[in-house]
Amino acid sequence: MRGCRYLREVTLAQLRNPMRRFADRVRQLIFQDCYFYRPFSLRDLARVDPHAACAHFNRSFCNPAEFSICFTGSLKVSTPLLFSGSKPVALAGL
């Protein structure tokens, strides 16, 4: 796939960048080589199945009616909200 070739070239370019290598080493020291903060490598790219990844994305995000929305913080219960895209908008005067 074209996207995989692009990611491969980006990863190779990052490996050649000395500043990126330094930042990766600093991140490794700070986070003690935790897998969550490990930089993306060619080995990681080889393990990705692009068709399975696209299928998972399509299954997970194809129906917005199944999304759950969680509000946190101080909200006025009397103010109705209208969802415009992903941002709630308060309806004035209702």
At residue 79, the pLDDT reads 64
Query: How is residue 23 written in tokens?
Result: 């930042």
> What number of other Cβ atoms are within 10 A of residue 81's Cβ?
14
Please check the confidence at residue 9 and state whether its pLDDT lies above 80.
Answer: yes
Domain ranges of the chain: 2-68
pLDDT of amino acid 94: 46
pLDDT bin (cut points 50, 70, 90) of residue 29 is very high
Contact at 8 Å (CB) between 88 and 81? yes
73 Cβ contact list (under 8 Å, min separation 6):
none
